[in-house]
Structure formats: structure tokens, C-alpha cells
Amino acid sequence: MLSPYCATACAHANIALIKYWGKADESLVIPTTSSLSLTLDGLTTQTTVEFHADDESCEQAGASATGSPLLHDTLNIDGQEQIGTPLQRVSKFLDVIRERAGIALPARVVSHNTVPFGAGLASSASAFAALAAAASRAAGLELSDRELSRIARRGSGSACRSIYGGLVKWNAGHDDESSYAEPVESPLDLAIIVVLISAKEKPMSSREAMRLTVRTSPLYPAWVCASEVDMRDALAAVSHSDLRALGAVAEANALGMHAAMMSARPGVVYWLPQTVAALAAVRDMRTQGFDVWFTMDAGANVKVLALASEAEHVADELRNRMPDCAVEVHHPGSGVRIVH
């Protein structure tokens, strides 16, 4: 009987300031553009992966013609056993780990989250970053952060950025070797205030909306070109500690992404009436002296960029203006870590 290989990892979600939206290579998850994000505290996934091939698992999985046990992964998310697409997606990702480690063992995956699933709060980023770290350690792999970033990317593109804490750039690259994330030194002490408009699962997944936008939106090619300039401007703003320049380009980049989504055939519209109200509130707050800018991912929720020292004041103002929405302050979070 083979002893279990087990590890637990914790990762944080990240919010992109310069967006990732669209793949140049679906199978390797190579993006069409580079992106820039901030890893956040408080939005976490903790995942345990156990590879095992004892008598019981062999019996459950069955046996091949050679007598070797077949793979039979299981997945539990927040106390609920998963089947279908979620389990298939995790198994496909674990195959990348198994191939690299030279093993063929079934895995038990148990995950606990503080990130609402499918609500536009980057649940897949923290989920696959934690899964990548736990699974690679459980499989006996010793990987550099860059290698781990590349592997996490295969599960969910944004997960490659959650390997690192703070401000992170994902270099789009052109193949598996060149597409990875890396930390960005930032003199700005940033925070993100989340206006939680809806915690419900989105009507269309980010993956499907992304494919539809790339395939059918007449505005998408223009957004890709603009995003290259946006990235240069954002990095320059960070290096010069220019929050206003960073906020302006982040806001424009997000609006461009949503414009491309809305012009897809059929259009993808995640916004709700309260979304529009929150965007208007942020812009009105700027006229009253607040240094705040909004960004949005694929969902109804609004994230507001501000300096960490002003985040609580900004949050209080947003609570007054959006009394029916939960408003949470998130400071920069750490990179992925092995818990045990």
C-alpha cells in the first residue's frame, strides 16, 4: 500500500488594473495582452491535495488491463462534493502536475473559500493558485515561483498572478516558457474597496464571455491595441508614484473591456442598475476631492482603487452612497504559501 502524498496551500484573489481578457492560445492559456493586478488580503482559498493509491482507492477507481489503478479524482468545495465540469476542470489541471511529476495517482482535493464563486471577484485566481501550490508540493515537485506561476496559468489565467503578493504583472508571452507573472515594485501603498452588488453566480462564465468577445466583438481588436499602451502608462504611473495616472488608465482599460463585451454578438452585459449607480458615485466623489477610480471584472461588482491611508474614509463614503451594498476594504495580500 502506497502512503498518501499530501499538502495544503493558501492563496489570495487578485484584481486586475490592466485587464486580461482573451486568449491567443486556448490550450496553454496564453493571453492576447499582458495584465497588471493587485493581490488582496481577505479573499482567500485554502486547498488540500492528497495523492493516494491504497487498496480502497484502487477498488473505487477500478483497474486497467495491466492491473494498474485508474485515476479517480474527487473534489469538495466548501463542504459540497463536486461532479461534472468543476471536477473535470480540476482533473485536467492535475494531469499537468501528474505528467510533470511522473505519477499516475488519483487525488482528493478539498477547498475552502472566502471568495464568492463566479461573482466577478477572481475566485478562480485564488482557487487555482492554491491548487497549483498544494498539488505540486504533494506530488513532490520543488518549483520556483516562476515555474509555479506558469503551471497555475494552465488552470486559470489570472491564477498565475496570485502566486505573488502585491502588484503583479503577467507577461503575455507567446509560449509556455514566456507567459508568466512577476512582482512589480511599487512605492504606492494601494487598497481596493469592493462594492459588493451581487454575490450570485454570473449568468455567463468568464471563460464563455471571453471566447464570445474575442470571436464576435468588432471592438475587441481595438481594445487589444489600446491595452498595450495602457500597460506602459500604468507601469510608468507606478514607477512615478502617480496614483491619479494609474487610476485613470485602470478605469479606461476596464471600460474598454466592458465595451468590447457589450458589442459581442450577442452582447455580454454584467452590469446591474446598482453597478451604474456605483460607477456614478465614484466619479462624483472625484469631483468632491476623493482620489478614487473604479475598475470592474466580468461581473456586476465594482472595485475602487485608492491609497491605503484613505481606504476607510472612502469606504465610509461609499456606504453612505450605496446603503444597500456591502462595502469591504482590502489591502495588498501575500503570495501563495504552503500551510502544511
Q: Tens digits of per-residue pLDDT, 139-189? A: 999 999 999 999 999 999 999 999 999 999 999 999 999 999 999 999 999
Q: Taking a C-beta distance cutoff of 8 angstroms, is the pair 167, 238 a contact?
A: yes
Grid-cell match 454570473, residue found:
202
* Separation CA 46–CA 53 (nearest Å): 23
What integer pLDDT is reported at residue 202 of this predicted model? 83
Per-residue pLDDT at 71: 55
Residue 305 neighbours by CB distance under 10 Å: 25
In contact, 327 and 196? CB cutoff 8 Å: yes
Q: How far apart, in whole angstroms, are the C-alpha atoms of residue 325 and residue 340?
A: 37
The span from the CA of 177 to the CA of 170, in Å, is: 13
Average pLDDT estimate for 115-140: 83
183 upstream amide cis, omega within 30 of 0: no
pLDDT value, residue 58: 34
Q: How far apart are CA 70 and CA 61, in angstroms?
A: 5
Angle at 322 (CA atoms; ends 320, 328), nearest 5 degrees: 85
- For residue range 205-244, what is the model confidence (pLDDT) as tens digits? 999 999 999 999 999 999 999 999 999 999 999 999 999 9
Task: Indicate the pTM of the whole model.
Answer: 0.91
The model's confidence at residue 116, banded by pLDDT at 50, 70 and 90, is low
Mean pLDDT of 43-68: 61
* CA distance linking residue 255 with residue 278, whole number of Å: 14
Euclidean distance between CA atoms 258 and 249, whole angstroms: 14
11 and 126 in contact (C-beta within 8 Å)? Answer: yes
For residues 304 and 306, give the distance between their C-alpha atoms in angstroms, rounded to a whole number. Answer: 7
Q: Which domains does the chain have, with CATH numbers?
A: 2-185 (3.30.230.10), 190-330 (3.30.70.890)
- The average pLDDT across 108-114 equals 94
Tallying the residues shown for the chain, one arrives at: 340
pLDDT for the residue 200: 84
- The pLDDT confidence band at residue 72, using thresholds 50, 70 and 90, is confident
Tell the burial category of 95 from Cβ atoms under 10 Å away from its Cβ (0-12, 13-18, 19+): middle
Question: Quick check: 122 pLDDT over 80?
Answer: no
CB of 33 closer than 8 Å to CB of 23: no
Locus of grid cell 503578493: 165
Give yes or no for residue 196 having a pLDDT over 80: yes
Residues 317, 323 contacting (CB under 8 angstroms): no
263-315 pLDDT, tens digit per residue, is 999 999 999 999 999 999 999 999 999 999 999 999 999 999 999 999 999 99
CA atoms within 13 A on the CB side of 105: 27
Q: How confident is the model at residue 36 (pLDDT cuts 50, 70, 90)?
A: very high
Per-residue model confidence as pLDDT tens digits over 284-293: 999 999 999 9
Name the residue among 181, 85, 175 with its Cα closest to residue 132: 181
